[in-house]
Structure 1
Amino acid sequence: MMLTAHSGSDGTPDNSRQFIKEMLLAGIACVEVDVRRSQTGKLYLSHDKTFWSEAMLSLDNAFQILKTDSDALMNCDLKEPNLEQSVLALATQHNIQDRIILSGAVNLAHLPDPMYLKQVYYNAESIIPHLYLNWEMTKSQIDEIIQTCHTKGIETININYRLATNGVINRFHQEGLNLSVWTVNDFAEINRFRSADVKNVTTKYAISYLYQNVVRQAMGG
């Protein structure tokens, strides 16, 4: 299981230099950032739509920080459409294109190469727009998601953790599909997903979870 730090994890400012640097220093495997495009074409980090300012972190600067770590990944959660090619082109300039994960408003037709499919965590609500009206997936919804994944070559589906019951996890695994779940802040739930071999868990307490695991192991737990 990979642990991804949600933007602003462990009390750091959302989409900030401090957030990325602290997560990398702590050894977190992946950091999630929210990506938008300004009116002038600059890619920048922001959850909400707002005007770009120099006080905000650009994606270019975020990639420069990521490069200080030789292994960590960055999940670029696309907050608006038509960003795929620009994000991956910028990542290629930094030679980190294989360390980028795309989630959010991903249009698979806009990927510059089919090889990037393996780096997409495809949001389930992109298949079923009203999925989160209820906190339980029906069999027909599960079947539709699975069929779409097989048809489009999607390898990993991204869903809210409350829908990821053990039965749902097992069904996706039986179909050869990976699951990424968000945003899991309960350590017992993170451990459940670890035991169930879920591919990725995104949490707002990445360092805290990592630290408590280290302490438990040191105490022989």
Structure 2
Amino acid sequence: MNITMVAAHTGCGIYPDNTMASFQEGIKFGSDIVEVDVRVTQEGTAILLHDDSPYLLTHTYEQLNNPDVRPLLDPAYKEHEIATLAQVLRVSDPIGMKLNLDLKTADAIDPTVKLIRQYEALKRVFITGCSEGMTERFPDVQVMLNTPVELSSRHSERYDEFAESICQEARRGGYVGLNMNALTCRQEVVDRAHDSGLLVWVYTVNDRPTMERFLGMRIDAITTRAPKILMELISASKQL
């Protein structure tokens, strides 16, 4: 029986997105996966950050993490230090926590792969986001294919063809699965993906009815800012 994994979106609790406090919340909620966004500083340190900033091109991590400088990246950093990917990998290692690393730029690829290997985390880390060329360069890294954020009218009307083509693309490209906007995911693509040995993840689902619908579709992982609700639904479904 397929058991859907709970993927806690960055900022699933009271703390700001992409801080270590927020990451710890994802763990404490009992999630199967925690998602974080990754960018790099001027000297190549991988940090947790969603939005781009010109300061990334001119400042090292040490300079950016200065209490007087870091709020320039985001007001949240007035109270929180800038978290690094190394910290996330180190904290999650003892418990074997799975990670969804959403790479925001191509220059984050090499520093991220280096850290994954350093912490021997190949089996528990999945890459989403900017991942062009990764499956060819790093075939041992688990990369999810990011499918279109929106469906064209043609794809919407001829969804079977879209489902088949996207699964073929994933198989040919060496991806381990599909990472889909929840609005674009239907049962046809889930069935085709599973028949092809591919995972299907959806993002970002925060309401109970949509969670229930995807649980019924046998989705492999649901990314959410409401992990407690999703875990309650999964627990209830196991008792049926």
Query: TM (normalized to structure 1)?
Result: 0.83
For 2:42 and 2:115, the matched residues in 1 are separated by 17
Distance 1:137 1:8, change over 3 A: farther
In our comparison, the structure showing a higher alpha carbon Rg is 2
Indicate the residue corresponding to 1:200 in structure 2. 221
Work out the number of aligned pairs and report it: 211
Gaps of 5+ in 2: 57-63, 66-80
The superposition leaves residues 157-198 of structure 1 with CA deviations (integer Å, 9 ceiling, x where unpaired) of: 111111112233233334443211110112222222222221
Gaps of 5+ in 1: none
For 2:213 and 2:37, the matched residues in 1 are separated by 27
| Identity across the alignment (%) | 25
Query: TM (normalized to structure 2)?
Result: 0.77
Indicate the residue corresponding to 2:100 in structure 1. 75
User: How far did residue 155 of structure 1 move?
Assistant: 2.6
Indicate the residue corresponding to 2:39 in structure 1. 36
Alignment pair present for 1:99 and 2:124: yes
Distance 1:121 1:109, change over 3 A: closer
**In structure 2, which of residues 74, 83, 99 is the aligned counterpart of residue 57 of structure 1?**
83
For 2:231 and 2:171, the matched residues in 1 are separated by 34
Indicate the residue corresponding to 2:20 in structure 1. 17
**Counterparts in 2 of 1:147-158, with a 5 A limit?**
147-158=168-179
* Contact 2:6–2:230 (Cα < 8 Å) also in 1: no
User: How far did residue 122 of structure 1 move?
Assistant: 1.3
Q: Root-mean-square deviation (CA), in Å?
A: 2.6
The superposition leaves residues 120-171 of structure 1 with CA deviations (integer Å, 9 ceiling, x where unpaired) of: 121013xxxx745669374443333122122212230111111112233233
* Contact 1:34–1:79 (Cα < 8 Å) also in 2: yes
Runs of 4+ in 1 over 6 A off after TM superposition: none
